[in-house]
Chains A and B, each alone.
Chain A
Amino acid sequence: MTVFIIRRLMQSSVVVAVMSLLVFVGVNIVGDPVDMLINPEADQAEIERVMRDLGLDRPVHEQYGYFVVNALQGDLGKSFIFGEPALQLIVQRMPATFELAIAALLIAVVLGIPLGVIAGLRPEAPSSKAIMAGSILGFSLPSFWVGIMMIMLFAVMLGWLPSTGRGDTVPFLGMQVSFLTWDGLQHLLLPAINLSLFKLSLVIRLARAGTREVVHQDYIKFARAKGLSESRVVLVHLLKNIMIPVVTVLGLEFGGLVAFSVVTETVFAWPGMGKLIIDSLHELDRPVVVAYLMIVVLMFVIINLLVDIVYSVLDPRVRLQDARA
């Protein structure tokens, strides 16, 4: 077990190291670091001072060392646009993105599991076929275009919901959240549905496949034979057993929601991390881009590591296979 965790930790650190090297090479070798890291409006004395501060007058391998040491201390440079540390900017935007991602995850689960179970119980019924056709569309449609269509329909033509921004926010556990105000909730609804569509299709498919498998098991037949009501069979005996794969996949997919929120946040002007990085890319605000990429990759590496460890605790075959490889 310990050996497995150590191996995985080493693998994760290699990924982070490769990533930092890639970003470092991208910023410092492919482009001109003086242009990229120093505010273009700075005068000559300022440029020389910053170059010394950043160690740009040193050889390349020493520069990489500086970059790593600074990054480990949480110093990823200052934004040109906002004049604040890049890390702080991103941390400020994090609650908005997480709120959106969690709302999308909730929608996917709350709608997806019942729809999937219905489609799995009667696979040949027209309603089930409609649900499955909908889930194919959910996989195929590019989410940015669906978001635009939602804005057109619900915000411009019908005028039911606001199209952009986050609405009123209130402090909650030290963060600003919008799901506790009516205005905020209205603003949250469209982006959350938009972000959830892909995962919703995934949950429907998982729940349907699970239902079709479980419904023929002996314990379901036994529950029916005992004379339990259909609702009890479905809601207790069936649901409990299809939840395992659904929950596992959703745990894995949460990181994906955060990554894909880049698209939804841009369409709906939702002030989260994703919109920040796209704006920063357009405005050539390199420190923020570098900081975002490093943070998100680190987040993914940690999620993957945790999932691997939890898996190996639950299923010893995983780590045995790994030891043999």
Chain B
Amino acid sequence: MSDETKPGLPSPLRRKLLMGMAALPAMSMLGRPAFADVPATSAVNTTGLAVTDSEVTVGILHSVTGTMAISETGSVEAEKLAIEQINAAGGVLGRKIKFIQEDGASDWPTFAEKAKKLLVNDKCAAVMGCWTSASRKAVLPVFEQYNGMLYYPTFYEGLEQSKNVIYTGQEATQQIIAGLDWVNKTKGAKSFYLLGSDYIWPRTSNKIARKHIENHLQGCKVVGEEYFPLGSTQFNSVINKIKLTKPDVIYAIIVGGSNVAFYKQLKAAGIDLSKQTLLTISVTEDEIDGIGGENIAGAYACMKYFQSLDNPNNKAFVPAFKKMWGEKTVIGDVTQAAYLGPWLWKLTVEKAQSFDIDKIAAASPGVEFKGAPEGYVRIHENHHLWSKTRVGRAKADGQYELIYETADLVEPNPFPKGYQ
């Protein structure tokens, strides 16, 4: 490793690079040798990261085994696609991205251990990874101690900000407030029934939702709020309660296998989602695959990305994804956010002209990615993303139809005043 980090291109490496370029027709479009302006490794890597003259190593840290594999598979696929595309377009500062993938195995201590391995042994210049808040909380001290950079893709509850993390998903207020305002304005909704799986994200999100409903929406009230243990599969009792209280909106933040049970039983109980408004922030196209489009058709979801978005970036992204991972795969909000990670990192490195973590952390605010499938995004000073919030309506074919999107980018606000 130490040989390769010396400045200047040793000739076998140069040949390898040239061969690699010949294999990539896309490169010829650049019109000039990509490595002509490759900065010396010693200049862009002063902290001993795994950067050579031709390669830079990043880590991918998700669960591909265990319960969470259901959700995290899409993120892994998106990150690999982004890396492949970046390499095809010339890499980062003239260096090809090489990735090392580790399996968090749906186990939080394993995540921490693997994060340490990626940072300490492999010296990864960045890590794309984690999905649940629990896994992020487990690796956070590791990233802060060993000064790594994590690109975290999931929409989450907020209340966190770190120099060592870029949050590419939405935090809770971005996802919740616009949706509630929309349902209140267009549906005239006054009464809300809040549901959730029993852990930190749904509870924090519902807390924000309740504060917003009670303090900011005129004449609106919460008529029920309930939580179910993760993995719960029986919802008939709460469905009866919903029938009794007749809320204008069912606000559901149920996750995992419970989701499937909830929507199937809702339909079986005769609650027709074309008449009863249901707004969820936890069901992406990925989940609909398991639930079955016919069981959830008519429900509204509030997030920042839908596979059906009609813009040029997304029109290129969706076919590329399907070409790599199969015609049948679907792309949900988090998958798209995971795709942003490697791109934002590349753009930040190029802005900073350095792989050093401290310089990247400092250069991140203001980095914009115009090629994002969701449209334009920009990193905020608090390391979250400015992004639009959208409401979609589920169709029987498992896709969302875009109903509404905010006119402007919504500012991320991980520590919302008056909502805690």
A is bound by B: no
